[in-house]
């Protein structure tokens, strides 16, 4: 059901909570083998660069993406084949790339 879009105040709170859960490596969210991590990355792609997150949340998202890049590059290399990735706009994909390289 993420990202939230209609209630921006609630969206900011929920998306920050999502980041906190990923930072805590929450197995209920990510799955025992991190199988839902690509879904989370796609949500990040949808909210980066928008008013659906507070500006200070973008930095931890970037750090998380870099950790994935450095520690689990297979997740990022398989991402273009993920069904939710296909739904990202070119601008959203660009936001993910920018977060990975900044």
Domain ranges of the chain: 8-101
In the numeric block, which tokens belong to residue 95? 């936001």
**pTM of structure:** 0.93
55 vs 53: CA distance, rounded Å: 6
Helices (H) and strands (E) in the chain — how many of each?
7, 0
Do residues 45 and 93 touch, judged by C-beta distance below 8 A?
yes
What digits encode the pLDDT tens for the residues 36-87?
A: 999 999 999 999 999 999 999 999 999 999 999 999 999 999 999 999 999 9
Widest CA span in the chain: 34
Residue 15 has pLDDT above 90, yes or no: yes
* Topology at the third CATH level for domain 8-101: Glutathione S-transferase Yfyf (Class Pi); Chain A, domain 2 (1.20.1050)
């Amino acid at each position: 059901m993420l990202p939230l879009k209609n209630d921006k105040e609630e969206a900011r709170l929920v998306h920050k909570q999502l980041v906190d859960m990923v930072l805590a490596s929450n197995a209920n969210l990510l799955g025992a083998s991190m199988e839902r991590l690509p879904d989370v990355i796609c949500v990040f792609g949808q909210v980066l660069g928008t008013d659906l997150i507070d500006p200070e949340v973008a930095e931890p998202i970037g750090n998380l993406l870099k950790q994935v890049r450095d520690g689990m590059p297979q997740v990022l290399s398989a991402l273009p084949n993920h069904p939710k990735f296909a739904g990202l706009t070119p601008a959203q994909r660009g936001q993910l790339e920018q977060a990975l390289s900044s």
